[in-house]
Amino acid sequence: MRVLVVEDDEDIRVAVAAALRGSGFAVDAVADLPPADEALFVNSYDCVVFDRMLPGGDSLSYVRARRQGGWAVPVLFLTALDAVSERIAGLRDGGDDYLVKPFAVPELVARVGSLCRRMGAGPPPVLRHADLELDTGRREVRRGGVLLTLTRTQFTVLRLLLAAEGEPVPRAELIRTAWDEMANPASNVLDVVIGQLRRKLREPPLIHTVRNVGYRLGE
């Protein structure tokens, strides 16, 4: 699951991003609305955490305008504006949740996780290929009926491959979704995870390399 954090206070931005990454989320973090707008254009997110008052203006106006255009990504507003009228405005005009500063970081992580699960409610709950089965709701993977233990990153990569239904998934897409902007596309992090998955899925092999493209599932 990938999260965008938009917060101009560097200490808060760094702390929130670190806590989310520590809980297994891929996180991009920016300090204002223009870079947030660029990130949202380039990447797909399961949730966005917006500070209300940013150098570029009130993020509520930005979210309201995007909602009018059909944008549906869950939004959590993180703000010192704690008046009831402000909270009502935040929820009425596009926010899905509203957390007042100062806040407990574990609570923020839990709220973001809840919003991400809401965003993921649409896809099929169970993905299958041959004798491989991935339950997105329970976050369980079985092959031949045997339950496998996967890390969060391994689960995400395998889910992307299953969702492609045998079509090749580009390396860049796998890295962009399973990691975050801190990951180096030229590194071997993806190859390491693919190797781990191949060992855990056992024979016969299901994950195949597509030269100069990425990986796909196939018998």
Please tell me the distance from the alpha carbon of residue 103 to that of residue 122, in angstroms, as a whole number.
30
**Which CATH architecture describes the domain 126-217?**
Orthogonal Bundle (1.10)
Q: Are 105 and 138 in contact (CB under 8 A)?
A: no
Q: Report the pLDDT averaged over residues 166-172.
A: 87
Please tell me the distance from the alpha carbon of residue 6 to that of residue 147, in angstroms, as a whole number.
38
Residues above pLDDT 90, as percent of the chain? 37
pLDDT value for 189: 85
For the chain, the residue count is 219
Q: Which residue has the higher pLDDT, 181 or 82?
A: 82
pLDDT value for 122: 46
pLDDT value for 51: 92
Domain 2-119 -> CATH class: alpha beta
Q: Report the pLDDT averaged over residues 168-185.
A: 73
pLDDT value for 186: 57
Q: Which residue has the higher pLDDT, 209 or 24?
A: 209
Which of 161, 163, 153, 178 is CA-nearest to residue 214? 161
- List C-alpha distances in Å: 148 to 52, 140, 142: 42, 7, 6
pLDDT-derived band at 131 (thresholds 50, 70, 90) equals very high
pLDDT value for 210: 92
In the predicted model, what is the mean pLDDT of the chain? 86
Q: Quick one: 82 exposed, middle or buried, by C-beta within 10 A (0-12, 13-18, 19+)?
A: exposed
- List C-alpha distances in Å: 175 to 84, 192, 193: 41, 12, 11
Q: Are 58 and 52 in contact (CB under 8 A)?
A: yes
Whole-structure pTM value: 0.60
Question: Between the ranges 40-44, 47-51, 103-107, 154-158, where is the mean pLDDT highest?
Answer: 47-51
C-alpha dihedral, 111 to 117 to 118 to 121, nearest 10°: -170
* pLDDT at residue 105 tops 70: yes
* pLDDT at residue 66 tops 60: yes
Where b means 16+ CB within 10 Å and e means fewer, 138-166 reads eeebebeeeebebeebbbbbbbbbbebee
pLDDT-derived band at 181 (thresholds 50, 70, 90) equals low
In the chain, residues under CATH classification 1.10.10.10 are 126-217
Token couple for 128: 């299958």
pLDDT-derived band at 187 (thresholds 50, 70, 90) equals low
Tell me the sheet residues that pair with 2: 26
Tell me the sheet residues that pair with 6: 30, 50
Q: Report the pLDDT averaged over residues 184-199.
A: 83
pLDDT-derived band at 183 (thresholds 50, 70, 90) equals low
In the chain, residues under CATH classification 3.40.50.2300 are 2-119
